[in-house]
Chain A
């Protein structure tokens, strides 16, 4: 495989990982991102597209977009992934997380026509040579978070999903579900406590 640039060292890493277990799905997506960025690899992009585009579309539909708008914005999000592949930093986020932030910002533009100011970039910016161990740890942490999320009690998970995907404030969730605001706040707090505990 022709891999150039800063993640070439990952090939060496892969053997280490292979000896302790299979490469996780997250690491696989990171490798695809490197191929898109360094080689404009359309096969790697097609794999990312096949997995993430339907998820972005579902996210937008749950946020109130109709199917046509969600399709359009999902395509736009995936095109942004191609164009901004050099800004993806595997020591700071999983590919899913990075795509989530792009999709969220596009949703705010497209659905709310509002603005969401971004924090200042870190003074040192994205590392030209991301640390391999750090990147690996970040990808494994993300995997762990996904598993922890799956074990949350249904009642708690539903509220977290509404907060993220319904684009609703706590009081709007209260209105929609008929639950008292205090119950919603404490369920979300419990869910976060559980996730934190699982991530220790």
Chain B
């Protein structure tokens, strides 16, 4: 993709994604950013290479008949077709996200959460939550702080938060202490993929009690 991306993944996130230790919702967000960002794809290559270099360091003896058993498995599997992965379909959502939505933007089942903002929770393991957010141009996502980490990846439009502007492909990595209020850019409605590992705490709009029901 030829979009200009200025906000990238951190080393810590790339390393954890390479090591395979991120919760599914975070992996989905990281994989979606990498699908849009050649720079982070190359950085991930370096972290995978580090995994490869570490793999070389340690050995555990295999069973005596191990190779024979493996060859038997391979023969039993027969000749497999040497398919190459199908070329990706173009759309608003990169392939990993389309897998979770069950299609592109048109397939999202939005639920209103107030002030014109809509969300759709994606089906991931419970340790963290991934959701799509739809913020009308110029509108704000309700003011919230959080206990854990929040990743927000822009898919379409742009939002402004603190001093920075986040456009398509940009990812905001917000930690524990950040109180923030992303506001969609006035130009167009903003669609983001957000992942959190702890429930958000909305300040202004919603009573706390509503949170478990909305799964925010």
**Contact B48 A58, beta carbon cutoff 8 Å:** no
Asked if A86 is at the interface (CB within 8 A of a chain B CB), the reply is yes
Q: Say how far A105's CB is from chain B's closest CB, in angstroms.
A: 7
**Known contacts A79-B70, A86-B82, A93-B45, A71 near B31 by CB under 8 Å:** no
| Complex CA–CA separation, A53 to B16 (angstroms) | 24
**Contact A114 B45, beta carbon cutoff 8 Å:** no
Asked if B51 is at the interface (CB within 8 A of a chain A CB), the reply is yes
Q: Which of A6-14, A15-23, A121-129 contacts B (4 or more CB under 8 A)?
A: A121-129
**Contact B74 A104, beta carbon cutoff 8 Å:** no
**Contact A46 B67, beta carbon cutoff 8 Å:** yes
Q: Which of A105, A114, A142 contacts B125 (CB 8 A)?
A: A114
| Complex CA–CA separation, A137 to B96 (angstroms) | 30
| Complex CA–CA separation, A105 to B100 (angstroms) | 18
Asked if B208 is at the interface (CB within 8 A of a chain A CB), the reply is no
Q: Which of A53, A99, A103, A145 contacts B62 (CB 8 A)?
A: A53
| Complex CA–CA separation, A163 to B53 (angstroms) | 14
**Contact B77 A79, beta carbon cutoff 8 Å:** yes
**Contact B34 A99, beta carbon cutoff 8 Å:** no
Q: Say how far B43's CB is from chain A's closest CB, in angstroms.
A: 11
Q: Say how far B10's CB is from chain A's closest CB, in angstroms.
A: 10
Interface size band for B: 35 or more
Asked if A187 is at the interface (CB within 8 A of a chain B CB), the reply is no
Residue of chain B at shortest CB distance from A57: B60
| Complex CA–CA separation, A94 to B99 (angstroms) | 29
**Contact B35 A120, beta carbon cutoff 8 Å:** yes
**Contact B54 A165, beta carbon cutoff 8 Å:** yes
Q: Which of B28, B48, B63, B99 contacts A97 (CB 8 A)?
A: B48
Residue of A79, A97, A118, A123 with most partner-chain B CB within 10 A: A97
Asked if B24 is at the interface (CB within 8 A of a chain A CB), the reply is yes
Segment 1-57 of B: residues with Cβ below 8 Å from A: 11-12, 15-24, 27-28, 31-32, 34-35, 41, 44-45, 48-57
Q: Which of A42, A58, A116, A123 contacts B59 (CB 8 A)?
A: A58
Residue of chain B at shortest CB distance from A98: B52
Q: Which of B83-91, B135-143, B160-168 contacts A (4 or more CB under 8 A)?
A: B83-91
| Complex CA–CA separation, A181 to B18 (angstroms) | 20
| Complex CA–CA separation, A94 to B49 (angstroms) | 8
Contacts of A153 in B (CB 8 A): none
The 6 closest A-B pairs by CB, nearest first: A97-B52, A120-B35, A96-B52, A120-B95, A54-B59, A119-B34
Beyond the given A53-B62, A146-B56, could you list 17 further A-B residue pairs with CB under 8 A, ordered by the A residue number? A54-B59, A55-B57, A61-B60, A62-B58, A70-B60, A74-B66, A79-B77, A86-B84, A94-B52, A97-B48, A97-B51, A116-B20, A117-B28, A120-B94, A123-B88, A170-B12, A192-B11
